[in-house]
Structure 1
């Protein structure tokens, strides 16, 4: 039986722009010289602000698509080791979120965990979230940070700081060829 939250019904959004933002955050994490760099933050903020309302919604959908794609990769990796992605990833990521109170206010953690669980069970994170109303301003940083945490976790698992970004760019390239 098909779910109204099935990914086939979800808008993909601007995955390329969302990936650029996530990759920028990852580079800042890995390069201690750019971590907490105000110029870098200003550039990312200006980039996001340049979209306008429709573009911003596409960016949100793109971030949710990334969360979905990352969780699907993690799901396959977990299944290769007879592990459940929800059991293996969600508690770790939620614990990380709880250690970041400036980024993840306590009231946003259940929503971000819900996005992870939706994606981990094969549902569209953005359609799952839409059931509960529009995105709030308080959820913007946590949404981006959730995608960054997933990408960083994939990079840790693979031992390659660029793996998560490459995973998505290769999927986008393959999609364009098809």
Structure 2
């Protein structure tokens, strides 16, 4: 019997919107802009407001789907080198997320969304560094979406 927490039973959400947010944040950071930049904050607030309540839930589910996909890729990459992903990725990720309120404040009124976005962002950056390519994480997700039949399908 499968668990109700099994990833196969989890909603995929709006992976495309979550990927757009993560990719946008990565590009902004590389351009020297922070989440507290007034222009960045206004743009993000407008985007989030346009989603509505159901859209925000779908965005959160999409961010969680990205986290699952990035961790799967990182696990496979580390296992191929005889390393444990828990030992090499998770401690740094957790420590960094704890510091994120200063550099990546959560969206107003929905703190869990901010944590999921920050986690997806950090994992995407980790994937990019491991692949030595600043667009590797975005390309990996886009390839998975394409092979799965589009954004509405469960990534494989």
- TM-score by structure 1 length? 0.75
Runs of 4+ with deviation above 4 angstroms:
none
The corresponding residue for 2:132 is 159
Change in CA separation of 1:27 and 1:12 when aligned onto 2, cut-off 3 Å: same
Change in CA separation of 1:27 and 1:58 when aligned onto 2, cut-off 3 Å: same
Listed as ranges, the gaps of 5+ residues in structure 1 are 106-135
The corresponding residue for 2:145 is 172
Structure 2 counterpart SS, 1:100: helix
Q: How does 1:127-146 map to 2 (within 5 A)?
A: 137-146=110-119
Structure 1 counterpart SS, 2:117: helix
Matched, 1:40 2:37: no
User: Is contact 1:79–1:85 with CA below 8 Å preserved after alignment?
Assistant: yes
Distance 2:39 2:87 in 1: 38
Distance 1:2 1:82 in 2: 29
Q: How does 1:103-142 map to 2 (within 5 A)?
A: 137-142=110-115
Give the root-mean-square deviation of aligned CA atoms: 2.3
User: Is contact 1:154–1:163 with CA below 8 Å preserved after alignment?
Assistant: yes
The corresponding residue for 1:91 is 91
What do the CA deviations read for 1:58-93 (whole angstroms, capped 9, x no partner)? 111000000000000001001101111112111111
Distance 1:173 1:73 in 2: 17
Distance 1:55 1:140 in 2: 12
Q: How many residues align?
A: 148
Deviation at 1:29, TM superposition (A): 1.2
Deviation at 1:96, TM superposition (A): 1.9
Listed as ranges, the gaps of 5+ residues in structure 2 are none
Distance 1:58 1:10 in 2: 11
Matched, 1:15 2:41: no
Distance 1:40 1:99 in 2: 20
The corresponding residue for 2:30 is 30
Deviation at 1:3, TM superposition (A): 2.2
